[in-house]
Homo-oligomer: A and B are copies of this chain.
């Protein structure tokens, strides 16, 4: 007979393992691309949403704009992104990927997401439904239903210590 306590402990242990693999994958990518976690995180968001404003990027990353400026400096230094003053509103700076940046993003593997996708796809629908249900339940337990999912391989442990200070919308 398996006790409740033991099962709860097992569940938590396995969740930890999942997280750890994901983080390790992201480290590997860091070594391969030469970019740090936040830099990679930023460039992925830019790839998704270019052209994007500095403030919008900061919001998406849950970081202070000043922090993002530094990250952008480095990405620009690597020739991966460009900054352009908007003609419509010259206070605004629009960030885009260079060709080099696009290639890097395209090449940088999908990390643990890839591992997961590859592992999940071949499973029968029935089993997938199973897994989906369980995760949904975990999310409910954590009261996380309303939180928008973010990128995985982001250094979320480095999230800012205080609440975000930019709450507006894009555009």
Contacts and interface: CB of A to CB of B under 8 A. Distances in A.
Contacts of A24: 159
A121 B141 CA distance: 11
Contacts of A12: 113, 116-117, 149, 152
A64 interface: no
A137 interface: yes
Interface stretch (A2-10, A49-57, A66-74, A79-87): A2-10
Q: Oligomeric state, in number of copies?
A: 2
A89 interface: no
B157 A8 contact: no
A165 interface: no
Please classify the interface of chain A as helix (H, G, I), strand (E, B), loop, or mixed, using the class held by over half of its residues.
helix
Given A7-B132, A11-B116, A11-B120, A158 B158 contact: yes
A30 B159 CA distance: 11
Interface of A: 2, 4-5, 7-8, 10-24, 26-27, 30-31, 36-37, 112-113, 115-117, 119-121, 125, 128-132, 134-145, 147, 149-152, 154-162
Query: Which 7 A-B residue pairs are closest in the complex by CB-CB distance?
Result: A119-B141, A155-B157, A16-B149, A14-B135, A134-B134, A21-B142, A13-B149
Given A14-B132, A20-B156, 13 more contacts: A7-B120, A7-B132, A10-B135, A13-B149, A17-B142, A17-B145, A19-B22, A27-B159, A112-B142, A130-B134, A131-B137, A155-B158, A157-B158
